[in-house]
Amino acid sequence: MPTDHGFRRLRGAQNRTSADACDRTAGPVWSAVGAGLHLLSLAFAGTVDHASLSGMTDDQKTPAAADPQVRELAEIPAVEVITRSAVMLMSAAAEKLGLASEDPDESPHRDLDEARRLITALAGLVTASAEFLGLHAGPLRDGLKSLQLAFREASAAPEEPGKGPGEKYTGPVW
């Protein structure tokens, strides 16, 4: 069966319910996918069992009236979006370094490879947006530097200055 034909069948299957997605006898979708069952998850990425999401799929006439904390994305200033993103990256990196635990070496969440990626992404974001951050740039740079130093300390074989996570964007960290 040609690959593009199978792809069309998968795309057409997106309108099926998620119950059909779990049923291997649902029809041509399974024959089109064959052994590549992982493709089915991509085809059904937009489908959900609406009964399990009570309240989330209902149309709300005034979402702001239901929750005063809800804001339209278009109303949020770019600086706030960048800052929130940086704080999320910072928090995730700290978790991956094990800094949320009393003993970081024994943290079940410690993953230095993931921490490296998060710190590098944070360094790129902070460096690229520093001119727009104003007063927020200093504390974000300080937090980034602290994470870079914590990473160096946590590494079994620390890299030389300039080779650590994010140092390609920030320069060497001492």
43 and 79 assigned to the same domain: no
pTM over 0.75? The answer is: no
42 and 80 assigned to the same domain: no
Determine the pLDDT at residue 158.
81
The mean of the pLDDT values for the chain is 74
Q: How many domains does the chain have?
A: 2
Does residue 39 lie within any of the structural domains? Answer: yes
Dmax over CA atoms of the chain, in Å, equals 61
Rounded Cα–Cα distance for residues 148 and 165 (Å):
7
25 and 100 assigned to the same domain: no
39 and 95 assigned to the same domain: no
Mean predicted confidence (pLDDT) in 19-24: 41
Model confidence at 63, pLDDT cuts 50, 70, 90, reads: low
Determine the pLDDT at residue 70.
85
